[in-house]
Amino acid sequence: MPFLGSWRRVYLAVILYLCGFIALLAFTWGF
Amino acid sequence: MRTLDWIVLVVSLVFVIGYGLWRSRRTRTTDDYLLANREMPWYAMALSIMATQASAITFISTTGQAYADGMRFLQMYLGLPLAMILISATAVPIFHRARVYTAYEYLEQRFDAKTRTLVSIVFLIQRGLGAGVALYAPAIVLTVIFGWPDYITTAIMGVLVVVYTTLGGIRAVTWTDFQQMLIMLAGLLAALASAIWMLPADVTFLDAVRTAGIAGRLNALVTTFDVRDQYNLFSGLIGGLFLALAYFGCDQSQVQRYLTGRSVTHSRLSLLFNAVAKLPMQFLILFTGAMVFVFYIYVQPPMIFHPGEMAKVEQRADAPQLQQRYDRAWQARRDAAGRDEAAFTTAQAEIDTVRKASGATNDTNFIFLTFVTTYLPAGVVGLIMAAIFAAAMSTISAEVNSLATVTVIDVYKRHFRGNATDHHYLWASRLFTAMWGTYAVFAAGFGRSLGSLVEAVNMVGSFFYGSLLGAFILAFYAPRVGAHAAFLAILAGEAAVVTVHLTWKVAFLWYNVIGAVAVVAAGLLLSVVLPRNPSASQAT
C-alpha cells in the first residue's frame, strides 16, 4: 500500500418523513 | 424441514456465496480487498448496511416480542433517521476527504497515534468479545426447534463466512449482504402473507389489524419518561439517536460499508436509504408478530412455546388445572374476537395470567419459529430458514471483515510493519480475516458453556460506545481540543459510564448519551489547560 435538488431539502424531507411515521405509530391509540 | 425446504435453503446459500465470490474474482490489491477500490454503488452499500444491522436474533426474537407485548421495541429506532442525516452531513465527507481505510485512522490525522491506538483497541476488544454471539444466538433457537446440534449450525454458517470473506474481501461481503438482505425481505413477506392468508375466511385483513390493535399488539409509543425504561419515545429519540450515531458513525463494522462508496453522494444515499427504509423494515417484522398473534386467536397455540419448558410444566401437580384455565380463556377470547371488546380484553388478561403462572415469561424467541414450522407450507419454511441463515452470516461477515481491517491498518501496519509491499498487506489482510473468522466460530462453539459470561461481555461492550462517539464529536466539532485533552477525555468518559452503571439504574441506551456528553465536556475543559499543538495534526 441528487433528489430534490440539494441535500438540505433531502434532510428536511427525511425529518418530515420521521414525523409522519411517528404520527402513524400514534394512530397505539386509534383502536 | 421437508425436502423442498432443504432444496430452497441449500440453493439460496450456494447462489448467494457463489455470486459474492464471482463479483470479487478480480480482487488483487489491498485497496480492492478492504475498500473495493472505492467504487461501490449506493444501492449495494445501502442493503449491506441494512443486512449488517439485522441479525438472526432480531428476526427470530422481534416477531415474538410483538406477539407477547406489542411494538414498543420500534421506539429504539426512532433516532436512527436523525443520526443518518448528521453522519451524511459530517462524517461521510470528512472520511472521504481523509482517504482513510478505518474511522480510527482519521483520529491520528486529527489527534495523534495514541488516541487512534486506544480507540482501535477498544473496538477490537468490544467487537472481538462479541464476535461469536451472532452465530451462537440463532443456533440455540434452531437446536430447540429442530433438534439440530448447535455446534453443527454454528460451524456451517461460520465456515461459509470465513471462506467468502477471506477469498473475496469487502466486495464479496457487500454483494453477499445485498443478496442476503433480499432473501431476508422475501422470507419476511412470505411469513406475513402466510399468517394473513391462513386466517379464517370471514376475518378480513382490516378485521385482523383491528383485533391486534384492540389487544394492544400494535402499541408502539410510550410517552411516559422513565430513565430506567429503554422503550419510550424519549429514550428512543435521544438515546436511540446517540446509539445510531455511535454505531453508524464510529463502528468500523458499519463505517467500512460506506467507505467503499464511489463518491460522497453514493455514500450519503446509502445511509439516507436506511434512514427511510429501516423503520418500515422493523415495523414489518413486528407487524408479522402481531399477525401471528391474530392467527393464534383462531388456532389454539401451546401454553408455552419453548418445548422443553412446556414439558417441565406438564410434570407439575397443577398442570391439568393450568391447562383447563388456559383452554377456557382461549375459547372465550376466540368467541369474543371481533364481537365483544370488553370480553376479549378480559379473556386476554386471563391468558396472560395463566402463561405467567406456568413460567412462560421467556419464550418469545420460540414463538415465530413454532408458527413457521407448524403451519407454513413446504418451501416457505426453507425460505425463512434461508433468511435466518442470511441474517446471521451478513452480521458476522461484517464483524470479521472490519476486525481484520482494523488489525491490519491500525495495529499491524501502524506499529509493526509500516513499509511492506501492497502484496504483503493483501495477504496479511487475508490471514487476519481467516484468523478472526476462525476465532468467531470457536467463540460461538463455547457460547453454551459461557452463556451468562457472553451476555456480560455484551453489556460491557455497550459501555464503550458513548466514549467512542464523544471522541469523534471532539474530532469533528472542537478544533481547539488537542491530542492529550482528547485522550484523557475518552478515559474520563469511560469512567463516567462505569460510575453511572455502578451507582444508578439507567437503561443502557442512556449510557451512550452519558459517555458522549462526558467526553465532550471533559475534552473542552481539558483543552483550557492542555491547548492544542497546531503542528501536531492537520485534519479538522
CATH code of residue B502: 1.20.1730.10
Kindly state the cell numbers that stand for B427: 495477504
* Spacing of C-alpha B305 from chain mean position: 24
Q: Which domain holds residue B128?
A: 3-26+40-296+374-529
- With a CB cutoff of 8 Å and minimum separation 6, the contacts of B535 are none
* Predicted local distance difference test score (pLDDT) of residue A5: 47
Asked if residue B366 belongs to a domain, the reply is no
The answer to whether B423 and B278 are in contact (CB under 8 A) is: no
- Look at A7 and B220 and tell me if their CB atoms are within 8 Å: no
Average pLDDT over residues B199-225: 86
Q: What is the enclosing helix (H) or strand (E) of B522?
A: helix B509-529
- Look at A25 and B265 and tell me if their CB atoms are within 8 Å: no
B357 and B238, same structural domain? no
B284 and B256, same structural domain? yes
The answer to whether B354 and B328 are in contact (CB under 8 A) is: no
* Predicted local distance difference test score (pLDDT) of residue B508: 67
B505 and B411, same structural domain? yes
The answer to whether B101 and B34 are in contact (CB under 8 A) is: yes
B255 and B278, same structural domain? yes
Higher pLDDT, A31 or B10: B10
Given B318, B334, B361, the domain boundary residue is B361
- Kindly tell me if the per-residue pLDDT of B281 is higher than 90: no
The answer to whether B40 and B175 are in contact (CB under 8 A) is: no
The answer to whether B503 and B485 are in contact (CB under 8 A) is: no
Chain B hits for A17, Cβ within 8 Å = 81, 276
d(CA B437, CA B154) in angstroms, rounded, equals: 12
Average pLDDT over residues B144-152: 78
Chain B hits for A14, Cβ within 8 Å = 81, 84-85, 272, 275-276
- Residue B472 binned pLDDT confidence (cut-offs 50, 70, 90): very high
B393 and B339, same structural domain? no
* Predicted local distance difference test score (pLDDT) of residue A2: 45
d(CA B223, CA B238) in angstroms, rounded, equals: 13
Of B71, B78, B214, which is closest to A31 when you measure between CB atoms?
A: B214
- Kindly tell me if the per-residue pLDDT of A4 is higher than 50: no
**Mean model confidence pLDDT for chain A:** 79
Q: Which domain holds residue A30?
A: 2-31
B261: which strand partners?
Answer: B40
- Residue B373 binned pLDDT confidence (cut-offs 50, 70, 90): confident
B456 and B417, same structural domain? yes
DSSP string, B255-310: HHHHHTBSSHHHHHHHHHHHHHHHHHHHHHHHHHHHHHHHHHHHSPPPSSSSHHHH
* Predicted local distance difference test score (pLDDT) of residue B1: 73
* Predicted local distance difference test score (pLDDT) of residue B121: 87
Please provide the size of chain A in residues: 31
Q: What is the DSSP letter of B237?
A: I
Number of domains in chain B: 2
Number of domains in chain A: 1
B124 and B21, same structural domain? yes
Angle of helix B56-69 relative to helix B380-406, nearest 10 degrees, comes to: 120
- Residue B448 binned pLDDT confidence (cut-offs 50, 70, 90): low
Higher pLDDT, B68 or B45: B45
Q: Kindly report which listed range (B13-27, B231-245, B385-399, B456-470) carries the lowest average pLDDT score.
A: B456-470
Number of alpha carbons in the 13 Å side-chain half-sphere of residue B147: 2
Interface of A with B (CB under 8 A): 1-2, 7, 10-11, 14-15, 17-18, 21-22, 25-26, 28, 30-31
B339 and B452, same structural domain? no
Average pLDDT over residues B430-458: 74
Q: What is the pLDDT of residues B483-538, one digit of tens each?
A: 889 999 999 998 999 888 888 778 868 888 999 999 999 999 888 876 766 555 54
Asked if residue B58 belongs to a domain, the reply is yes
- Kindly tell me if the per-residue pLDDT of B44 is higher than 80: yes
Q: What is the pLDDT of residues B297-338, one digit of tens each?
A: 998 898 888 788 788 788 778 888 788 889 989 989 888 888
Higher pLDDT, B312 or B30: B30
Nearest to B78 by CA among B192, B231, B185: B231
Task: Report the residue of chain A nearest B214, measured CA to CA.
Answer: A31
Asked if residue B256 belongs to a domain, the reply is yes
* Predicted local distance difference test score (pLDDT) of residue B258: 94
